[in-house]
Structure 1
Amino acid sequence: MVRVTDTDWSTDLAGTGGYADVNGINLYYERYGAGRPLVLLHGGLGSGEMFGPVLPLLAATHEVITVDLQGHGRTADVDRPLSLDAMAADVAALIDHLGLGQADLAGYSLGGGVAMHVAANHPAKVGKLVMASAWLRTDSIYPEMRAMQGQVSAAAAEFMVDTPMYQLYQKVAPRPEDFGRLLDKIGDFMRQGIDFTEKVSSLTVPTMVVGADADQVPPTAFMEIFGLLDGGKRDGGWTGEGRPAGGHALAILPGVTHYSIFSSPLFAAVILDFLDR
């Protein structure tokens, strides 16, 4: 979940928007720029607008597709719980709907989990994967943050009216009154225990793990994911011969938090370096 205030996510970059009827959901997306396709997946309670500050950097060399996941932004909710597998299937179907064949994926927080599930469940549709500010297990997150997430429900809506998440939802959602419903579903999702060790270990696409140096989990949590991808086990060598065989990478970004990493120029810089390497 994103927790920020007084934030401007707007962009002057011109794009085209549309809906894709996939898997029983009317999924909203926007397209910017041209080049190798890159699908961006936002965090919980956010939308594609979260990436507004970095869109010009990414779209200068790539076709960028932002997606509003189930119940978020301009995508109305449907009668199913929030599930990483289901939302990953939506994104995979969108790649087909747009005729992309294959796309790179970059997801942040909730979107990072969705992106990882797309890559694990539908690897033929994914070129490279960027998994940002997402973690392996329930016990990865700081205990005080876990306690706060356990309290998320519709009852919290009245305390969020001054946040950009609430204000954007009221502006763009097909049913603005569903914000409390979204909070209930996000709360239920976060209260579930998770362990994605096997899922991450099964990844076959080149993957970059990204985290903030002051994230909701310690930097060692991102190092643990990298370790499952054969990273951090030996010297890389003069010519990179000791790097992970799958082309995987790790980036811990300085001076950012879980609530600012997705709009940082550093985030765009490491994505472009990884995708274009």
Structure 2
Amino acid sequence: MSYADVNGINLYYETYGEGRPLVLLHGGLGSGEMFTPILPAFAQNRQVIVPDLQGHGRTADVDRPLDVRVMGDDIAALIDHLGLDRPDVVGYSLGGGVAMQVAFHHPEKIGRLVAASAGIRRDATYPEILEQQGQVSAAAAEFMTETPMYELYQRVAPRPEDFPRLLDKIGAAMAKDFDFTEQVRALAVPTMIVAGDADMFPPSHFAEVFKLLDGGLRDGGWQGEGRSAGGHALAILPGVTHYNLFVSPLFPAVVHEFLKEK
């Protein structure tokens, strides 16, 4: 259990296992602790570094918006701080968006990228989810006191009273339009896109992202010669939703298969 002063933030992280480093990034309103059920699977033959992102878990908020681009810089700075040699970066939901930003802006710092349950266009989100996201603000704090997110925050946050502030910031972040199509098209880091078959975005959106990576355009061939030229991959996990992917044993299973590829 350690803290790193990086990029203007005191970033909390935990380290598990030994081997080639893997940075594992949690989802919004959670913390690295949310991966507890599947951490042993991730840490088999790997050193897993699990940070708490800005304003989440044991990392106190700072005076700046919640922005995946800036949080990507936080993780790039953490990689430098720890002296990691091109670790693989795996992120879920908000963490998947942050992981993508590391690959977009700091490709030389990482090995492979896995982005799970992370869409690249806001307008690809199901309309009913966008409506729910529009209701996330400090005013919703009193209605969340019985939720696991609130319980976790109250238990571990340096300033538990900041929960309404976190809701305000994450609500503002979700209200902003985004489209990372061109950044994905230009990705040079081998990337796997992961989603549940009943995720926050339709499976077709993740297939669209894979297509931007030269995937799904032709038969793969007997020797894999028709696969994506950049070594990219797509995994749609059966029977999995946005809300349980981060504890599904299928998640580390497909990640390990992708990361062991040459």
Alignment equivalent of 1:62, drawn from 27, 37, 46: 46
Q: Does 1:48 align with 2:32?
A: yes
**Pairing of 1:44-193 with structure 2 (within 5 A):** 44-193=28-177
SS where residue 37 of structure 2 aligns? Answer: coil
Determine the C-alpha separation between the residues in 2 that align with 1:70 and 1:217.
24
- Runs of 4+ that moved beyond 2 A: none
**Pairing of 1:202-221 with structure 2 (within 5 A):** 202-221=186-205
Determine the C-alpha separation between the residues in 1 that align with 2:120 and 2:75.
21
- C-alpha displacement of 1:101: 2.6
- C-alpha displacement of 1:126: 0.8
- C-alpha displacement of 1:251: 0.2
Structure 1 gaps, min length 5: 1-16
Matched to 2:215, the amino acid is G
Matched to 1:194, the amino acid is F
Q: Does 1:21 align with 2:1?
A: no
SS where residue 127 of structure 1 aligns? Answer: coil
Aligned length: 261
SS where residue 52 of structure 1 aligns? Answer: helix
Matched to 2:117, the amino acid is S
SS where residue 187 of structure 1 aligns? Answer: helix
- C-alpha displacement of 1:184: 0.1
- C-alpha displacement of 1:138: 1.3
State the partner residue of 1:249.
233
Alignment equivalent of 1:201, drawn from 177, 185, 202: 185
Please give the root-mean-square deviation of Cα atoms over the aligned residues, in Å. Answer: 0.6
**CA displacement, residues 128-167 of structure 1 (integer Å, 9 cap, x when unaligned):** 0000001121111100110110110011111111111110
Q: TM-score under structure 2 normalisation?
A: 0.99
Determine the C-alpha separation between the residues in 1 that align with 2:49 and 2:138.
30
Determine the C-alpha separation between the residues in 1 that align with 2:33 and 2:186.
31
SS where residue 69 of structure 2 aligns? Answer: helix
Determine the C-alpha separation between the residues in 2 that align with 1:80 and 1:101.
29
Alignment equivalent of 1:265, drawn from 243, 249, 252: 249
Determine the C-alpha separation between the residues in 1 that align with 2:240 and 2:188.
29
Determine the C-alpha separation between the residues in 2 that align with 1:149 and 1:229.
29
Determine the C-alpha separation between the residues in 2 that align with 1:61 and 1:273.
13
**CA displacement, residues 210-234 of structure 1 (integer Å, 9 cap, x when unaligned):** 0000001110010010000000000
Determine the C-alpha separation between the residues in 2 that align with 1:240 and 1:100.
31
Determine the C-alpha separation between the residues in 1 that align with 2:86 and 2:120.
25
Matched to 1:122, the amino acid is H
Q: TM-score under structure 1 normalisation?
A: 0.93
What is the identity percentage for the equivalent residue pairs of Structure 1 and Structure 2?
A: 70
Matched to 1:123, the amino acid is P
State the partner residue of 1:13.
none
SS where residue 42 of structure 2 aligns? Answer: helix
SS where residue 46 of structure 1 aligns? Answer: coil
State the partner residue of 2:22.
38
**CA displacement, residues 2-54 of structure 1 (integer Å, 9 cap, x when unaligned):** xxxxxxxxxxxxxxx10000011000000000011000111110100111111
